[in-house]
């Protein structure tokens, strides 16, 4: 690699991280026109890094609750609420919409129509209650502040690291929306995202890192397969559902391993 190529690569890396954070969170960011023009598909390799950022904030909230003497489950619920606020509920909204579409529609067209409706239905409420409650219970079972930090980082990174490969392996289910606008990540992009996610899990997971990886991967693949059968491809809502489902099972697996008798 020439010196000129290296000089171009470093700003591109920062631009991709910037684009990833701006897309996946609601953190205020200074305008960066060059980074904003970069295709989202090319920046997807940095999704796990955005996950680490969100998880770090959640872990800090959990630690603050523990320091104030709050019960672990209450600290966990507040931390999950903080994470949702940081992302604007992006993934939770996708999970709820996908659940509503699956539960309320009988054809791909009707399911997509329901998923596009901004109102939340019974299935969406139920799946959010289960997801939030389950993650809070898992974090409370882990208990220790540093172990919770590791678990959150591991689950957040791998659940987002799996998204680019889902996008690359499926067709958009709609003519408009995220599927068409984001583009298709190349093999190096999804491979780097997956590699980063795996590496972060190995380094951060407080226990059961192999099971954490398997649980997240199987859940993501299963959710993507359901979406392919139900609506013929993926949408932004499907990606939100993939992320939330993978994160949920990853945390549950870590908690199960770390709980006495688990």
Lowest-confidence region among 87-96, 169-178, 181-190, 202-211: 169-178
Q: Is the pLDDT of residue 181 over 80?
A: no
Q: Is the pLDDT of residue 5 over 50?
A: no
pLDDT value, residue 34: 67
In terms of pLDDT, which residue wins out, 182 or 119?
A: 119
Structure tokens of 109? 């067209």
Distance, CA of 160 to CA of 182 (rounded, Å): 15
- How many residues in the chain? 262
| Residue 47: φ, ψ to 5° | -55, -45
182 pLDDT band (50/70/90 cuts)? confident
Q: Is the pLDDT of residue 4 over 60?
A: no
- In this prediction, residues 136-145 reach a mean pLDDT of 97
pLDDT value, residue 261: 61
What percent of the chain is predicted at pLDDT more than 70? 91
- In this prediction, residues 6-32 reach a mean pLDDT of 77
Regarding pTM above 0.95, the answer is: no
pLDDT value, residue 15: 85
pLDDT value, residue 8: 52
Q: Report the run of H or E that residue 198 belongs to, with start and end.
A: helix 187-204
Q: Is the pLDDT of residue 175 over 90?
A: no
């Amino acid at each position: 690699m020439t010196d000129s190529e290296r000089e171009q690569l470093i700003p591109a890396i920062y631009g991709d991280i910037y684009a990833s954070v701006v897309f996946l969170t609601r953190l205020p960011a200074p305008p960066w026109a060059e980074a904003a023009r970069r295709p989202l598909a090319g920046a997807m390799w940095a999704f796990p890094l955005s996950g680490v950022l969100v998880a770090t904030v959640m872990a800090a909230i959990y630690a603050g609750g523990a320091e104030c003497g709050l019960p672990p489950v209450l600290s966990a619920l507040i931390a999950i609420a903080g994470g949702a606020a940081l992302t604007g509920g992006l993934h939770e909204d996708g999970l709820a919409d996908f659940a509503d579409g699956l539960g309320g529609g009988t054809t791909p067209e009707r399911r997509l129509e329901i998923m596009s409706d901004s109102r939340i239905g019974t299935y969406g409420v139920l799946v959010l209650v289960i997801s939030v409650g389950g993650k809070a219970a898992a974090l409370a079972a882990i208990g220790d502040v540093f172990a919770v930090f590791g678990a959150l980082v591991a689950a957040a990174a791998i659940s987002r690291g799996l998204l680019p490969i889902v996008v690359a392996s499926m067709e958009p289910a709609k003519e408009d929306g995220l599927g068409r606008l984001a583009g298709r990540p190349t093999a190096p992009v999804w491979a780097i995202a997956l590699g980063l996610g795996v590496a972060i899990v190995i380094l951060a997971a407080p226990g059961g890192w192999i099971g954490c990886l398997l649980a997240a991967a199987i859940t993501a693949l299963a959710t993507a397969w359901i979406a392919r059968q139900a609506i013929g491809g993926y949408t932004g809502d499907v990606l939100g559902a993939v992320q939330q489902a993978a994160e949920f099972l990853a945390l549950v697996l870590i908690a199960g391993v770390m709980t006495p008798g688990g």
